[in-house]
Amino acid sequence: MAPTEIITILAPSPGAVPHPSRYAHTDIDGDRLLISTALFPDGTPGLYFRTDPNGSSVPLTDLPALIAQLQVIADASTAEAAEA
């Protein structure tokens, strides 16, 4: 008997549309990482993380740029929440 695969497609949470401040990365074997703004239903700003099913690896040499961009995304998320 062949295994059954169930795929669930979830709509992105409100505010999870990739913002211009997003961080996008594709690792050496093609797995992708996206970090963007998120806005929770109660108006709380947050960060949205999405990867391919295998996850995505970021080289340590890219860590300073990722950390800096996380702050830019957090600031953009806070601004989006204030506008909402």
Write down the pLDDT at residue 38.
87
**Within 10 Å of residue 37's Cβ, how many Cβ atoms?**
25
Question: Above 90 in pLDDT, residue 75?
Answer: yes
Write down the pLDDT at residue 40.
87
Question: What does the alpha-carbon distance between residue 54 and residue 12 come to, in Å, rounded to a whole number?
Answer: 19
For the segment 53-78, the average pLDDT, to the nearest whole number, is 93
Range with the lowest mean pLDDT among 16-25, 28-37, 59-68, 69-78?
A: 16-25
- pLDDT tens per residue, range 48-65: 898 988 899 999 999 999
**For the chain, what's the residue count?**
84
